[in-house]
């Protein structure tokens, strides 16, 4: 039998909880000079950027108001690229991102690398946690690398990451790379945060895919077959042809862009410029035909709706009356004693009469 808590409710960011408003009202005079922080952030100061991120991630009530103030002064930047990258462990994500990031910097971009890692709460950051894996990139003045945002759930991480992106962009970073692992819901989250979605792959499609979730391949704008070097070049080319033909059987995407398959070797720095050119070409076209702006607007509205849903559901599931009855109702549902209709009626009545 499924457990009564099998319905997972995202914990909501603390600032959305019922008593946040009161706590803000009770707020002591702020100790943080938001004005100064903003000025420092806009000057591109990395230390200021880190302080800003710490501020918005803080759970201290006295930081809530400053965080909101800070975020609301940031104008949305249209002149930035947000790239999502996924791939199973072992596909060479860190090496690829380092090579790609350095190339983007050589073309004049400032690069921020963030991660959305649902496992990081347990493993203390399995991806990007170890900056030493991007030794060269971390040394560059034009790069900013940050492990997965804090948060107890994917919804919370997504909300924080969205705000961290805005902070990075305000600090002048105009090429944002968001890394995740291809094993769960996090891909959808990253796709909702980025403009373009890249799937890293290995030659010899099949076994390597075991870890990638269905649907992710269809989500990708670009598939890059990595480690196409040495004896791997031929298998990589073969995999490229296979994947190209598989993609041609897919229904067309909702955006204007036809998904591509490229090969690259992050180790030998080959193919990186082709990937870069492909992505920047996409952005040029998307900006020209209006898809870019429309897509970002849709993402903001989706984030807004999702935050509302999380907050309402959080209030509901934490209502004492609902909580007291919850387990019984779920068991009755699972055993077929009542229908979903009745279950919802029972709980809603308890909630509304609370």
Residues 133-192 touching a copy of itself, rule: CB under 8 A, are 159, 162-163, 166
- 307 touches a copy of itself by CB under 8 A: yes
For 253-270, give the DSSP string. PSSSPPPEEEE-BTTTTB
- In the complex, what is the shortest distance from the CB of residue 174 to a copy of itself, in angstroms, rounded to a whole number? 17
| Backbone angle region of 271, left / alpha / beta, with phi > 0 → left and psi within -120 to 50 → alpha | left
- 8 Å CB contact between 169 and 176: yes
- 354 touches a copy of itself by CB under 8 A: no
Question: Which residue in the block uniquely carries the two structure tokens 């108001």?
Answer: 65
- 324 touches a copy of itself by CB under 8 A: no
- 330 touches a copy of itself by CB under 8 A: yes
Angle between helix 154-170 and 34-42 (nearest 10): 70
Q: Which is nearer to a copy of itself, 139 or 341 (CB)?
A: 341
Residues 267-306 touching a copy of itself, rule: CB under 8 A, are 294, 297-298, 300-301, 303-305
- 2 touches a copy of itself by CB under 8 A: yes
- 331 touches a copy of itself by CB under 8 A: no
CA 67 vs CA 18, 32, 186, 218, 270: distances in Å: 18, 10, 25, 37, 42
- In the complex, what is the shortest distance from the CB of residue 306 to a copy of itself, in angstroms, rounded to a whole number? 9
Residues 237-256 touching a copy of itself, rule: CB under 8 A, are 242-243, 245-246, 248-254
- In the complex, what is the shortest distance from the CB of residue 114 to a copy of itself, in angstroms, rounded to a whole number? 17
- 8 Å CB contact between 352 and 55: no
Residues 34-73 touching a copy of itself, rule: CB under 8 A, are 68, 71-72
Token digits of residue 289:
């035909």
- 20 touches a copy of itself by CB under 8 A: yes
- 352 touches a copy of itself by CB under 8 A: yes
Chosen residue from 60, 241, 312, 354 binding a copy of itself by CB under 8 A: 312
Q: Kindly state the helix (H) or strand (E) to which residue 98 belongs, with its residue range.
A: helix 93-106
Q: Which is nearer to a copy of itself, 20 or 138 (CB)?
A: 20
Q: Which is nearer to a copy of itself, 208 or 267 (CB)?
A: 208
Question: Which residue in the block uniquely carries the two structure tokens 């792959």?
Answer: 201
- 25 touches a copy of itself by CB under 8 A: no
- In the complex, what is the shortest distance from the CB of residue 330 to a copy of itself, in angstroms, rounded to a whole number? 7
- Give CA torsion, residues 128, 134, 139, 140, to 10 deg: -90
Give the integer Cα–Cα distance in Å for 215 and 184: 10
- In the complex, what is the shortest distance from the CB of residue 268 to a copy of itself, in angstroms, rounded to a whole number? 26
Backbone phi and psi for residue 204, each to the nearest 5 degrees, phi listed first: 75, 50
- Per rule CB under 8 A, count of chain residues that contact a copy of itself: 75
Segment contacting a copy of itself by CB under 8 A, of 101-109, 138-146, 283-291, 341-349? 341-349
- In the complex, what is the shortest distance from the CB of residue 101 to a copy of itself, in angstroms, rounded to a whole number? 27
CA 83 vs CA 17, 101, 153: distances in Å: 32, 11, 22
Q: Which is nearer to a copy of itself, 64 or 93 (CB)?
A: 64
Q: What is the CA radius of gyration of the chain?
A: 22
Q: Which is nearer to a copy of itself, 7 or 43 (CB)?
A: 7
Give the integer Cα–Cα distance in Å for 25 and 281: 49
CA–chain centroid gap for 75, Å, is: 20
- In the complex, what is the shortest distance from the CB of residue 205 to a copy of itself, in angstroms, rounded to a whole number? 5
Token digits of residue 48:
């200021």
Residues 204-223 touching a copy of itself, rule: CB under 8 A, are 205-206, 209-218
Secondary structure of residue 202 in the 3-state scheme: coil
């Amino acid at each position: 039998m499924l457990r009564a808590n099998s319905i997972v409710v995202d914990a909501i960011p603390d600032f959305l909880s019922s008593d946040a408003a009161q706590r803000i009202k009770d707020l002591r005079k702020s100790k943080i000079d938001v004005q100064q922080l903003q000025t420092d952030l806009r000057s591109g100061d990395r230390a200021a950027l880190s302080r800003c991120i710490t501020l918005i991630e803080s759970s201290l009530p006295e930081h809530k108001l400053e965080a909101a103030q800070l975020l609301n002064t940031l104008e949305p930047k249209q002149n930035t690229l947000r790239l999502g990258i996924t791939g199973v462990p072992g596909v060479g994500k860190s090496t690829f991102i380092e090579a790609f990031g350095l190339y983007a910097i050589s073309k004049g971009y400032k690069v921020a690398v963030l991660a959305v890692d649902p496992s990081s709460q347990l493993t203390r950051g399995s991806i990007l946690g170890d900056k030493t894996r991007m030794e060269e990139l971390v040394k560059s003045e034009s790069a900013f690398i940050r492990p997965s945002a804090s948060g107890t759930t994917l919804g919370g991480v997504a909300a924080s990451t969205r705000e961290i992106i805005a902070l990075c962009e305000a600090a002048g970073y105009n090429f944002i790379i968001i890394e995740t692992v291809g094993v769960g819901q996090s891909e959808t989250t990253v796709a909702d945060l980025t403009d373009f979605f890249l799937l890293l792959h290995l030659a010899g499609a099949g076994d390597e895919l075991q870890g990638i979730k269905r649907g992710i391949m269809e989500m990708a704008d670009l598939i890059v077959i990595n480690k196409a070097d040495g004896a791997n070049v031929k298998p990589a080319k073969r995999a490229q042809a296979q994947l190209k033909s598989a993609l041609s059987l897919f229904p067309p995407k909702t955006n204007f862009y036809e998904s591509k398959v490229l090969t690259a070797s992050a180790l030998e720095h080959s193919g990186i410029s082709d990937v870069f050119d492909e992505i920047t070409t996409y952005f040029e076209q998307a900006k020209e035909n209006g898809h870019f702006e429309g897509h970002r607007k849709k993402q903001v509205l989706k984030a807004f709706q999702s935050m509302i849903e999380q907050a309402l559901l959080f209030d509901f599931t934490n209502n004492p009356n609902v909580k007291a009855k919850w387990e019984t109702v779920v068991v009755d549902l699972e055993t077929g004693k009542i229908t979903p209709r009745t279950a919802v009626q029972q709980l809603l009545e308890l909630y509304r009469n609370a």
